[in-house]
Amino acid sequence: MALSSHSPSSNTIGHWSSGLFDFTENLSICSFGMFCYPLLLDDTAQNIGEGKCTCCAVPFCIPVTCCLAHMALRTLVRQTHHIKGSVVSDMWSVLCCPLCAACQEARQVRQAVPMVTTKQPSARDNMRS
């Protein structure tokens, strides 16, 4: 899935589409993150074309692994969407409020993913077949 048509141009540096604490921007993402944090990370990773998130396999057995994987995912989202920041700012966001960071990343990625619509055949299309 190509995100280039919805991402800023490579020479434009932008900002996150929503703030770290903008929970009301998308309550379904907030709820998903609150109750299924590892699955939200996995969903975000898949939406940017990274496949399964490594921290989803053992999220609570090895918290350090999950934290490192989340920081890497956040950095990747930021770089993919040309968002101003650094690895240090990504680290602090994930360490201080991992749920807030995961929700912010999911909101950012979902805004950039084009909605897939299916065309319903019209009566004219049915007559042709």
Residue closest to 44 by CA, chosen among 114, 115, 108, 117: 108
94, β-bridge pairs: none
Cα distance between residue 78 and residue 85, in whole Å:
7
Distance CA 47, CA 109 (A): 7
16-43 pLDDT tens trace: 999 999 988 899 999 988 888 888 888 8
Which residue has tokens 């994987």? 69
pLDDT at 94: 93
Are the CB atoms for 108 and 18 separated by under 8 Å?
yes
Euclidean distance between CA atoms 12 and 22, whole angstroms: 24
Q: What is the reported pLDDT for 122?
A: 52
Q: Tens of pLDDT along 44-101?
A: 888 888 876 655 555 555 666 778 888 999 999 999 999 999 999 999 999 999 999 9
